[in-house]
Amino acid sequence: MKGKMKLISGDITQLEVDAIVNAANPSLLGGGGVDGAIHRAAGPELKAYCRKCGGARHGEAKISPGFNLPARYVIHAVGPVWKGGNQGEEETLRKAYLNSLKLASQHGIKSIAFPNISTGVYGFPKKKAADIAIGTVKEYLTLHPEIEEVIFVCFDEENYRIYAGYPGLEIIPAN
Ligand code: AR6
């Protein structure tokens, strides 16, 4: 597990990894934020492919090719909408990470990059989300040596500061 979790600031669409994770909505047909950026960079074939995926519930994930992205795959994870914390939001966020990692294992993905799922439009508190993201990934890696690298990609400064405060994440300098 040690040395496999990394932190980088910037745009997830630029990363040359086996898979990038998208913070999608249940339609899987695109939207704003990181979802919009991924669909723009992947090209229209991504939406056409996702149309056939049948959507996903909050906490679920589906996989597609990366099309024009440098990443081979996109894993579309749907995080919870924050509604105050009493609607199972924490467990749903954990499942979004876990189901993404399970898909990665099933598809021979060795390197995977996550954005800070649900911490934008969906309004999940950032520190709590980081605890769940890092905790879930850490636990998964101890049991699944097939995943070699997990990169947390922070686009906004607040998330980056929060993640940089965790011991055990290797900081990769941005280009
Ligand atoms: N690379 C990496 N992270 C990014 C990028 C990027 N290019 N752009 C934004 N972020 P959000 P959510 C960060 O709102 O909260 C969409 O409309 C951003 O700083 O993209 O899960 C979907 O279609 C934030 O920390 O996703 C859904 O309807 C993080 O990505 C809804 O938003 C997540 O913010 C999902 O909301």
Q: Which of 11, 18, 35, 131 is catalytic?
A: 35
Residue boundaries of the structural domains of the chain: 4-171
How many angstroms is it from 69 CA to the middle of ligand 1? Answer: 17
**Pocket, ligand 1, Cβ cutoff 6 A:** 11-13, 23-25, 31-35, 37, 79, 115-122, 153, 155-156, 159
For the residues of 136-171, what is the DSSP string, one character each? HHHHHHHH-TT--EEEEEE-SHHHHHHHHTSTTPEE
| The predicted structure's pLDDT at residue 175 | 66
- The answer, yes or no, to whether residue 174 has pLDDT greater than 80, is no
Separation between Cα atoms, residue 58 and residue 43, nearest integer Å: 25
Q: Looking at residues 140-169, what average pLDDT do you find?
A: 97
Q: What is the pLDDT of residue 3?
A: 78
Q: Give the tens place of pLDDT for each residue, 34-51.
A: 999 999 999 999 999 999
15 to each of 48, 124, 126, 145, how far by Cα in Å? 22, 25, 23, 22
Ligand 1 atom closest to the CA of 31, numbered from 1: 23
Angle of helix 44-51 relative to helix 33-42, nearest 10 degrees, comes to 110
The 10s digit of each residue's pLDDT in 154-168 is 999 999 999 999 999
Q: CA-CA distance, 90 to 127, in Å (whole number)?
A: 12
11 a catalytic residue: no
CA of 38 to the centre of ligand 1 (A): 10
Which has the closest alpha carbon to 83: 126, 123, 132? Answer: 123
CATH topology of domain 4-171: Leucine Aminopeptidase, subunit E; domain 1 (3.40.220)
